[in-house]
Structure formats: C-alpha cells, structure tokens
C-alpha cells in the first residue's frame, strides 16, 4: 500500500516542477521583450535628462534559475535522504540475508542429524530383532538342557574321545610303517645308483681296452718305422724338457725375488697402518677432549649468562625499588626536634628524594592489570596490602620499629571499610569504619576514627577500574606525604604509621564516582583493639627487600658474574688449547694416511709384478710337466714297439684278452644294476601301499575328530545354556535400551528441526520483506533522482536562455548607442551646412583636442556622408533595419524555447 502512494507524490511533484519550469521560461521571454521595449523607449527619450518626476527606484527581479536552483537543492536533500534510507534498507537486507543463510545452514545440519539419528534408530531396532532371535534360540537350548540330555552328551563326548585316541594310534602305526619302508626304499636307491656308476665305469674300461687293442694292431704293422720315429721324438722331447726345466728354474728365482719384495713392502704397509691407527686414536682422543672442553665451555657460558641475568634482574629490581628515600635527619618525631627552618628543609629534601616514581620492566605489566575497585580479586587484595605494608615496614625497620603484619582478619576489616564507605564523604567515613570494626570483632568508637589512615584523590578510575601501576604510584605518593609532609594534618598520619604499639595493617580502596572519591584505606591496630583479644590473628609480615639489601645483592651478583666470566675465560683457553692439539693430531693423522697411501700404491705395484711372475712360473711348471708327460708317452710307445718287434703275437693276444675281460666285467655289473633296479621298484610299490593305508587312517581320524568337536560343542551348548540365555537376555535389554535412547534422540532432533524450520520460515519472511522494502526504497530513490536530473537539465536550459537574453540586451544597448550617435551626427551635419565657420571650428577643436573626442580623423568624412545620406533617404530606412535585427533576436530566443519545450515533452 505504501509504494503507490509514494509514486503518486513523486509524479505530482514532477508535474509541478515541469509547470514551474515552463512558466518560468515564458516569464523569461516575456520579461526579455518587455525589457527590450523599455530600452527602446528609453533610447528614444535619452535626449531628455532624468528628473525626480520621471525617474523611479527599480527592484531586482528574482531569476527563474534561482527558483530552479532552490528546487534542485531541496530535491538533492530529498535524494540524499532517500539514499540514506536505501543504505539502511540494504543493511537490514544484508543482516536478514546473513541470518537467513545461518538458519538455512542450521536446518541443513540439523536435517543431517535427524537422518543420522533415524539410521541409528533403524539399526538399533534391527539389533533388537536380531537379538530377540538369539534369545529365542538360547531359550530352546535351555529347554533342551535337561540333566539326562547333558549326561548323554557327556557320554557321547567320552565315546568320541576314545575313538579319536584309538584312531590316532592307528595313524601313528601307519606313519611308522611308511617311515620304515621309506628308509628301505632310500637304501635301495643308493644301491641302484652305486651299481649304475660301476656299470658306467666298466663300459668306459671296455672302450679303453678296444682303443688300446686297435692302437697295438696299428703299431704292429709298421713296427720298425715307428721305432725309428719314436726314438727321434724321444731325443727331441728330452732336449725340450731340459730347456723347459731351465726356464722353470729361472722363473722360480724371479718369483722368489718378487714375493720377497711384496713381503718387505707388506711389512712397511703394516707399520704404516699401525701408525695411522695410532694417529686416528690420538685424533679421536683429542676430539673427545675438545668435545668435553666445548661442553664445559657451554656450561661455563650458561653459568655466565645466568650470572648476568641474575645481575640484570637484581639491577632491574633495584632500579624499580619502590621503597621511600629518607633524609639523614628523619625520625618518627622529627617535627618535635627540628627547628621550623630545619623541618621545612628536611621535608623539602624528602619530597625531592621521592619525587620520581621508580620504574622497571615489571611495571609494564602492571599498567595493563586492571583492578575492579568494587570487586578486586583475592590476589590483587593481597598484592595491594603487601605493597603498602611493605613500604611502611621498610621505613619502620630502618627506624628500629617492629614490622607490621597482614592477617586475614586485617584484610577483611579493611575491605569491609571500603565496602561500607560513602563515596560522597570526602573525609574519614567514621560510620563505615565503626560498622566494619563491629562486624569484625573490634571495638567501636562512635563518631571517631582510631583505625584508618586515609588518602583521597590520588588515582583516577575508568569504568570503575584502576591499574595496578596507578594504584602503586598513588599509594607511594600518599605515604611520602603522610610520613614526610604531614604538617597540614598535625603529623597525625606520621604518628599513626610509625606507632611502635601497632602490630597489624591491611589496605583497601574504594570510590569510583569521580577523581575525588578515589580512596586508599590504610587500616592498622593491635590486639587490644579487639573486643575479645583471644580472637586476634597474628598474621605474617610481607616480604619486602630494602634498598640496602638489593644493593648488596647487586654487589654479590657482580662478584659472581666476574667469577663466572673468569671461569668461562679459563674454559675458553682450555678449549683453544684442546682445539690446537686436535689440529696437530689431525695433521699427524693426515701425514700418516698420506704415507700409508703411498706405501699401499707401492705394494699394489709390487703385487702386480709378483702376480705376473707367479703366473709366468706356473706356466713354466705346466710346460715342464707337459714336456715330461709327452716324453713319457713317447718312451712308453717305444717300449711297446720294442715289445711288438720281439713278441708281436703275445702282445696282440694280451690286448685281445684285456678287451674280453673288460667286456665280461661290464656284463656282470649290468646284470647287478638290473637286479638293483627291480628290487628298488618292489620296495617303492610296498611304500605306496603303506602310504594309502596311512591316508585312509588319517581320513578316519579326521572324521572322528570332527565328531568329537561336534559332541563337545553340543555338550558345551547344553552346559552353558543358562548363562548363554542370560547373556542373550542382557544383550537384548541393552539393545532395547539403545532403541529407547535412539528414539529419544531422534524425536529430540526432529523437534529441534521443526523449531529451526519455524525460525527458517520467519527468517525467510523477514529477508523477503527486507528485500521488498529495499526494492521499494531503491525505486523511490530512482524516481527522486529522475526528478533531480530533469531539474538540473531545466536549470542548464534556463542558464542558456538567460545568457541569450543577456546577449540580446547587450545588442539592444549597442544599437541604441549607435542610433543616438547617428542622431547626434545628423544634427551636427545639419548645423555645419548652415554655419560653415562652426563646422571648421569643430574640426579645429578635434585637432587641438584629439584625446577629448571619441571620433577619429576618418570619422568626420563618414559623418558628412551619413548626413547626406540621411537627407536623401526616408526616415524609416536605417532605423527600421535596427528594430528588425532586434526582432530577429527575439524570434530566435522564442524558437529555442519552443524547441526545448517540445524536446522535454517528448
């Protein structure tokens, strides 16, 4: 409903602006014409001087452009406002989009949870179904498990066990028989192999005998010729053997020399290796020593660093020592002993000594540690009391007074005072003090203060908090004032803080209204202030190092650092010496290794020579043996030839006999081989039969074992029927409980999903509405921007028309001036014709006063011509052309205006 109404307003506004612009343009044109007309009248009457009667005061007219500019300014303001609305709507839409996306993702995630829970529910329900079947089966077994059934099952197990045992014996016996027969077969195989080897040897012997017989028969045919040939070969081979023996002896001598050279060089290498080993051991020892020295140096350097850190820490602690600096003549009662001048001088000195708040690095953390004035932590409470009481004890100790102690009783008293304190009370709040005293078992002093030393306005709070740094600075300044500049309070703070009878103290803070309300409450007392003295808590004095203690620590730590540095220097020197020793050892090792390398290279060369001489010697030995063998073969052949020559028939017969004997032996061994092979086959057949018996026995055993397992399981099933059933029931209960949980989880997740979907619907609706609002705002902004653009275009057109009107006005003025000048020239020319002397006088004046005239030397000639022309022309000629020019300019303005209006309408 809001959108059409807005559009209607904008359209009405646009129509009004268009009408206003059109009217303004018409007024502009009309005003221009009227102005020109007025100028015309004025030009016609310009010869007459103005008088009060014919003159009037003119009021400046409001230009149309000014009205349009005002409309543009207003419209720009509206556009800016609409843009702000669009930006706001955009932000709302973006926020709605983020919320919608977030809830969409939540719905998606929750849907996944629902699906997961549904799967879990289905699985748990299936688990119940499955487990119910297990329970039913277990129940059947329980029903079956009667005592008689169990006894029967036991008997069956016993029977099956006995059968397995007996069959196992059968298997064992069968396996024994197989093993024994396998041994027999193996033995027969050995015998067969031996017979085969023997038969092969006998066959080779037959072949050799036949070859020998053929050779002898060949020799017998040419015995004399073969004898001469053999004798010649024998002589040649004997000579060759002698030569080979000489070469062998020579090669042997060379080998002996080369072997000795290798042995000698090997001794050198061994010695060099021992030297290298010693050098390596020495280097390792030196390296170990250097490592030890370096570790020792690192330890010393760490010790030095630790000593330096300790010194730096003690210096830093001394630098930030917050203890009060006391003048030399300060005493608890200095204000009583010193003259006024001495007192003022001492107090001035005290303030100067404590003007600067000592700081160190630890204070940086205190700057950021904020204390909630109304609710500080217990640690902060303790820290504040320790700090203030520590400062006071530091002064008291220097003056020989007992240290004040902090107890839980004192802490509670102090913070109860802070709790009850009225922040608008700019002095001791005696009501709060006495109320806290009463509640904590201390004596009341109505209207009086016997417990508190108060400091006000020394720290500021921000949002009810003050930093630990600001508190400590404020507390120290407060103590400086109370102890050493307390004349304005009659030195009551000084007397209280340094009271020798006080035993306990604690500190609290309060006030967070303004700077003045900030208070530091210093509560002190002794046991006598308690209503019941037996409730007194002694407490402990806080640890607070004096400046003198810190200075001593710095001096001690400096000495420790110097000692550590000296020890480090000694360790550095020891490390340098060890490094030098290691370098020397490494150099020695490198030299030894280099020498060893040279010796090994020499040894390798000698070994290569020795290997070569050995190879040569072995070759000579082989050649000698070959020559000896060849010579022996020749000798044997010569002997055979001689024997053939002497007894040819007997030799050939013997060779024939040898062949026959060899063949007889071979036939015997072949027969034995055949017998062995047949015997082996018979035993292998027996072995195969026994293996079949074993396989059958093992199969029977396996069947009996299966039967035993079945009966054993049956027995166990019956004996464990009740526990199995109970376990199954228990598992069923768990499964059913799991179903309940899964169902609950599923329903809860489903409920959460529905809630999220409701939120999603709301978020979607909000986002849709925000988008719709944004679209409407953008549309409205575009409409206002369109009106603004039209106004700006109209303003530009008006400025163009005003510029044109200004040009018309200037042209009108120029034409009026020219018309006036022409009138004056005409009048002057007429006078010149009637009075030549006057015309000459005028020219004389022009020459005499050229600067006073507006005409040039050429203008008098022109004047004459114009004057004559005017006399010869009608009076309407040139004047009418001027007015025609003006009229033409007006027409041009009107045409431009009409064209712009048509362009706007289109």
Per-residue model confidence as pLDDT tens digits over 752-783: 999 899 899 999 999 999 999 999 999 989 99
Instruction: Kindly state whether residue 380 falls inside one of the protein's structural domains.
Output: yes
**pLDDT at residue number 223:** 63
The DSSP H or E segment spanning 371 is: strand 370-372
Contact 33, 890 (CB under 8 A): yes
Q: How confident is the model at residue 455 (pLDDT cuts 50, 70, 90)?
A: very high
| Largest distance between two CA atoms of the chain | 205
**pLDDT at residue number 639:** 79
Contact 317, 545 (CB under 8 A): yes
Residue % of the chain over a pLDDT of 70: 81
For 350-390, how does the pLDDT look when each residue is reduced to its tens digit (9 = 90+)?
999 999 999 999 999 999 999 999 999 999 999 999 999 99
The CATH number of residue 332's host domain is 3.40.33.10
Q: How many CB atoms lie within 10 A of CB 378?
A: 8
For 29-74, how does the pLDDT look when each residue is reduced to its tens digit (9 = 90+)?
333 333 333 333 333 333 333 333 343 333 444 456 778 888 899 8
The DSSP H or E segment spanning 794 is: helix 721-834
Instruction: Kindly state whether residue 506 falls inside one of the protein's structural domains.
Output: yes
Pairing between strand 465-467 and 370-372?
antiparallel
* Residues ≥6 apart with Cβ < 8 Å to 687: 178, 181, 182, 184, 185
Phi, psi of 369 (to 5 degrees): -85, 110
Report helix, strand or coil for 412. helix
Q: How confident is the model at residue 301 (pLDDT cuts 50, 70, 90)?
A: very high
Token readout for 256 is 């002996």
Contact 107, 760 (CB under 8 A): yes
Q: How confident is the model at residue 306 (pLDDT cuts 50, 70, 90)?
A: very high
For 222-278, how does the pLDDT look when each residue is reduced to its tens digit (9 = 90+)?
666 667 777 788 888 888 889 988 999 999 999 999 999 999 999 999 999 999 999
Q: What is the mean pLDDT of residues 644-652?
A: 66
* Residues ≥6 apart with Cβ < 8 Å to 484: 324, 326, 327, 330, 346, 347, 350, 351, 354, 494
**pLDDT at residue number 581:** 95
Q: What is the DSSP letter of 247?
A: H
For 884-893, how does the pLDDT look when each residue is reduced to its tens digit (9 = 90+)?
555 665 665 5
Q: How many CB atoms lie within 10 A of CB 275?
A: 18
Using CA atoms, how far apart are residues 513 and 516, in angstroms rounded to an integer?
8
**pLDDT at residue number 49:** 39
For 682-736, how does the pLDDT look when each residue is reduced to its tens digit (9 = 90+)?
989 999 999 999 999 999 999 989 999 999 999 898 889 889 988 999 998 989 8
Residue with the bigger pLDDT between 69 and 843: it is 69
Q: What is the mean pLDDT of residues 788-814?
A: 89
Q: What is the mean pLDDT of residues 25-32?
A: 35
* Residues ≥6 apart with Cβ < 8 Å to 361: 316, 320
For 649-693, how does the pLDDT look when each residue is reduced to its tens digit (9 = 90+)?
566 667 778 888 888 898 898 988 888 899 989 989 999 999 999
**Residue 861 bridge partners (DSSP):** none
CA dist 782 → 9, 19, 144, 774, 776 (Å): 14, 21, 92, 12, 10
Report helix, strand or coil for 666. helix
**pLDDT at residue number 483:** 96
Gap between the terminal Cα atoms of the chain: 31
Contact 496, 334 (CB under 8 A): no
**Residue 520 bridge partners (DSSP):** 455, 509
Sheet hosting strand 452-456, strand order edge to edge? 452-456, 519-525, 504-510
**pLDDT at residue number 164:** 94
Q: Which of 599, 597, 596, 610 is nearest to 262 (CA)?
A: 610
pLDDT over 70 at 464, yes or no: yes
The DSSP H or E segment spanning 704 is: helix 648-719
| pLDDT mean across residues, the chain | 83
Instruction: Kindly state whether residue 694 falls inside one of the protein's structural domains.
Output: no
* Residues ≥6 apart with Cβ < 8 Å to 512: 373, 374, 423, 461, 464, 465, 518
Using CA atoms, how far apart are residues 684 and 678, in angstroms rounded to an integer?
10
Report helix, strand or coil for 768. helix
**pLDDT at residue number 210:** 79
**pLDDT at residue number 664:** 87
**pLDDT at residue number 868:** 35
**Residue 521 bridge partners (DSSP):** 454, 508
Q: Long-range contacts of range 633-639, CB-CB < 8 Å, 24 or more positions apart?
A: 634/230, 634/233, 634/234, 634/237, 635/234, 637/219, 637/226, 637/230, 638/227, 638/230, 638/231, 638/234
CA dist 129 → 135, 732, 735 (Å): 10, 9, 9
Using CA atoms, how far apart are residues 648 and 655, in angstroms rounded to an integer?
11
Q: What is the mean pLDDT of residues 881-904?
A: 55
SS3 of the chain: helix, strand, coil, percent, to 5 = 80, 5, 15
Q: Which of 504, 507, 500, 449 is nearest to 476 (CA)?
A: 507
Burial grade of 578 (CB within 10 A; 0-12, 13-18, 19 or more): buried
Q: What is the mean pLDDT of residues 95-100?
A: 90
What residue numbers bound the domain in which 519 lies? 322-544
Q: How confident is the model at residue 898 (pLDDT cuts 50, 70, 90)?
A: low
Q: How many CA atoms lie within 13 A of 785 on its CB side?
A: 10
Q: What is the DSSP letter of 454?
A: E
For 604-634, how does the pLDDT look when each residue is reduced to its tens digit (9 = 90+)?
999 999 999 999 999 999 999 998 898 888 8
CA dist 507 → 457, 536, 882 (Å): 16, 18, 106
Report helix, strand or coil for 449. coil
**pLDDT at residue number 57:** 37
**pLDDT at residue number 631:** 85
Burial grade of 822 (CB within 10 A; 0-12, 13-18, 19 or more): middle
Instruction: Kindly state whether residue 151 falls inside one of the protein's structural domains.
Output: no
The DSSP H or E segment spanning 507 is: strand 504-510
Q: What is the DSSP letter of 423?
A: T
Q: What is the mean pLDDT of residues 326-346?
A: 94
**pLDDT at residue number 841:** 30
Q: How confident is the model at residue 744 (pLDDT cuts 50, 70, 90)?
A: confident
Token readout for 790 is 């039209």
* Residues ≥6 apart with Cβ < 8 Å to 477: 357, 458
Q: How confident is the model at residue 839 (pLDDT cuts 50, 70, 90)?
A: very low
Q: Which of 504, 460, 475, 266 is nearest to 391 (CA)?
A: 475
Using CA atoms, how far apart are residues 891 and 887, in angstroms rounded to an integer?
6
**pLDDT at residue number 802:** 86
Contact 480, 346 (CB under 8 A): no
Token readout for 290 is 């250097």
Instruction: Kindly state whether residue 423 falls inside one of the protein's structural domains.
Output: yes
Instruction: Kindly state whether residue 222 falls inside one of the protein's structural domains.
Output: no
Using CA atoms, how far apart are residues 227 and 280, in angstroms rounded to an integer?
75
For 385-410, how does the pLDDT look when each residue is reduced to its tens digit (9 = 90+)?
999 999 999 999 999 999 999 999 99
**pLDDT at residue number 21:** 39
Domains in the chain: how many in total? 1
pTM over 0.75: no
Using CA atoms, how far apart are residues 395 and 405, in angstroms rounded to an integer?
14
pLDDT over 50 at 16, yes or no: no
């Amino acid at each position: 409903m809001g959108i059409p109404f807005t559009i209607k307003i904008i359209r009405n506004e646009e129509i009004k602006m268009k009408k206003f612009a059109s009217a303004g343009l018409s007024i502009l044109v009309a005003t221009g014409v009227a102005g020109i007309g007025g100028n015309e009248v004025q030009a016609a009457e310009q010869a007459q001087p103005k008088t009060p009667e014919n003159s009037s005061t003119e009021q400046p007219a409001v230009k149309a452009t000014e009205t349009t500019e005002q409309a543009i300014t207003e419209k720009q303001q509206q556009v800016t406002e609409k843009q702000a609305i669009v930006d706001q709507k955009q932000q709302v839409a973006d926020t709605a989009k983020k919320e919608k996306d977030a809830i969409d993702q939540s719905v998606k995630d929750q849907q996944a949870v629902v699906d997961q829970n549904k799967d879990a529910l289905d699985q748990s329900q299936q688990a119940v179904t499955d487990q119910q079947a297990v329970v039913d089966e277990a129940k059947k077994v329980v029903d079956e498990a009667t005592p008689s059934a169990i006894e029967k099952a036991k008997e069956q197990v016993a029977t099956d066990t006995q059968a397995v045992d007996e069959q196992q014996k059968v298997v064992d016996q069968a396996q024994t028989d197989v093993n024994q027969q396998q041994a027999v077969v193996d033995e027969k195989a050995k015998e067969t192999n031996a017979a085969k080897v023997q038969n092969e040897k006998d066959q080779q012997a037959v072949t050799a005998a036949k070859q020998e017989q053929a050779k002898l028969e060949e020799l017998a045919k040419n015995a004399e010729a073969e004898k001469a040939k053999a004798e010649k070969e024998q002589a040649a081979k004997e000579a060759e053997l002698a030569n080979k023996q000489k070469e062998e002896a020579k090669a042997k001598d060379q080998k002996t020399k080369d072997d000795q050279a290798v042995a000698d060089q090997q001794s050198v290498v061994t010695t060099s290796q021992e030297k290298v080993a010693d050098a390596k051991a020495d280097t390792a020892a030196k390296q170990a020593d250097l490592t030890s020295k370096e570790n020792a140096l690192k330890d010393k350097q760490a010790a030095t660093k630790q000593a330096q850190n300790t010194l730096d820490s003690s210096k830093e602690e001394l630098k930030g020592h917050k203890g009060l600096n006391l003048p030399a003549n300060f005493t608890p009662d200095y204000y009583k002993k010193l003259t006024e001048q001495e007192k003022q001088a001492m107090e001035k000195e005290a303030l100067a000594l404590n003007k600067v708040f000592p700081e160190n690095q630890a204070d940086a953390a205190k700057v950021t540690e904020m204390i909630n004035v109304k609710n500080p932590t217990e640690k902060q409470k303790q820290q504040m009391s320790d700090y203030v009481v520590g400062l006071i004890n530091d002064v008291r100790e220097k003056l020989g007074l007992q240290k004040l102690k902090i107890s839980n009783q004192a802490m509670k008293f102090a913070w109860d005072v802070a709790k009850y304190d009225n922040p608008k009370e700019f002095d001791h709040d005696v009501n709060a003090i006495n109320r806290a005293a009463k509640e904590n078992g201390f004596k009341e002093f109505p209207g009086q203060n016997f417990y508190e030393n108060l400091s006000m306005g020394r720290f500021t709070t921000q949002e009810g908090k003050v930093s630990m740094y600001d508190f400590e600075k404020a507390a120290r300044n407060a103590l400086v004032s109370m102890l050493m500049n307390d004349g304005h309070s009659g030195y009551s703070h000084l007397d209280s803080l340094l009271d020798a009878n006080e035993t306990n103290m604690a500190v609290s803070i309060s006030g967070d209204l303004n700077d003045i309300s900030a208070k530091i409450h210093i509560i002190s007392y002794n046991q006598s202030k308690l209503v019941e003295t037996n409730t007194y808590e002694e407490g402990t004095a806080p640890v607070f190092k004096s400046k003198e203690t810190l200075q001593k620590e710095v001096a001690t730590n400096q000495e420790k650092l110097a000692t550590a540095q000296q020890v480090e220097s000694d360790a550095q020197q020891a490390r340098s010496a060890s490094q030098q020793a290691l370098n020397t050892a490494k150099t020695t090792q490198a030299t030894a290794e280099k020498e060893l390398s040279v010796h090994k290279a020499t040894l390798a060369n000698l070994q290569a020579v020795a290997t070569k001489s050995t190879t040569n010697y072995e070759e000579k030995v082989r050649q000698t043996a070959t020559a000896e063998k060849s010579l022996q073969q020749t000798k044997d052949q010569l002997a055979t030839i001689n024997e053939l020559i002497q007894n040819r028939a007997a030799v050939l017969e013997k060779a024939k006999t040898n062949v026959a004997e060899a063949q007889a032996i071979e036939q015997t061994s072949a027969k034995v081989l055949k017998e062995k092979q047949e015997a082996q086959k018979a035993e292998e057949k027996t072995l195969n039969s026994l293996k079949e018996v074993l396989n059958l026995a093992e199969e029977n055993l396996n069947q009996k074992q299966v039967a035993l397992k079945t009966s054993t399981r049956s027995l166990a099933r019956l004996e464990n029927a009740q526990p199995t059933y109970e376990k199954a029931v228990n598992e069923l209960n768990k499964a059913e409980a799991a179903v309940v949980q899964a169902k609950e989880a599923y329903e809860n997740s489903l409920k959460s999903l529905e809630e999220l979907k409701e939120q999603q619907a709301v978020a979607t609706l909000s986002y849709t509405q925000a988008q719709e609002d944004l679209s409407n705002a953008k549309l409205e902004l575009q409409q206002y921007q369109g009106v603004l653009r039209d106004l700006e275009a109209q303003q530009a057109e008006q400025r163009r028309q005003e510029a044109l009107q200004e040009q018309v006005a200037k042209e009108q003025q120029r034409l009026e001036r020219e018309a006036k000048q022409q009138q004056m020239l005409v009048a002057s020319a007429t006078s010149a014709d009637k009075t030549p002397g006057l015309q000459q006088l005028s020219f004389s004046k022009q020459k005499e006063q050229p600067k006073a005239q507006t005409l040039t030397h050429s203008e008098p000639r022109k004047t004459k011509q114009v004057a004559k022309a005017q006399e010869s022309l009608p009076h309407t000629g040139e004047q009418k052309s001027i007015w025609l020019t003006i009229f033409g300019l007006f027409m041009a303005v009107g045409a431009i205006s009409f064209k712009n209006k048509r362009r706007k309408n289109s």
